[in-house]
Amino acid sequence: MSQRIYTLIDADGRPYRTPVPGRFGGHRRSKIYGHLDCPSALRALTRGHYHPHRVFFADEATAIGAGYRPCASCMKARYAVWKAVERGGGRSVPY
């Protein structure tokens, strides 16, 4: 039996293949990342609208490095910090 290979996105936004599954999912068009069990993403996947633009990240730092923002649904606290930074002129504050 062959080992499963996953395609993840690196901090530069480029795909790479690895035997380790991603810990976070994202939506390429909206540049949002979140937990794999995010209710909002699961609803979109069920409707068939999300799958063509779905991406995966090894960790949160990689998603942020690739220019993605936290999901407002499954990562409320991190989203609130991101939103405050955006309103404050984009000062660099870790979420």
Domain ranges of the chain: 6-87
What are 39-63's pLDDT values in tens digits?
999 998 899 878 889 999 999 999 9
The answer to whether the Cα torsion of 62, 74, 20, 27 is positive or negative is: negative
For residue 30, the one-letter residue type is S
pTM of the model as a whole:
0.85
> Per the structure block, which two tokens stand in for 92?
């660099």
Q: Residue 4 gets which letter from DSSP?
A: P
Percent above pLDDT 90 for the chain:
79
> Per the structure block, which two tokens stand in for 94?
């870790």
User: Residue 12: is its pLDDT beyond 60?
Assistant: yes
Q: Residue 21 gets which letter from DSSP?
A: P
User: Residue 73: is its pLDDT beyond 80?
Assistant: yes
From residue 72, alpha-carbon distances to 1, 2, 75 in Å are 40, 38, 6
Say which CATH architecture domain 6-87 belongs to. Answer: 3-Layer(aba) Sandwich (3.40)
Output the pLDDT for position 88: 77
From residue 68, alpha-carbon distances to 4, 27, 37 in Å are 26, 9, 18
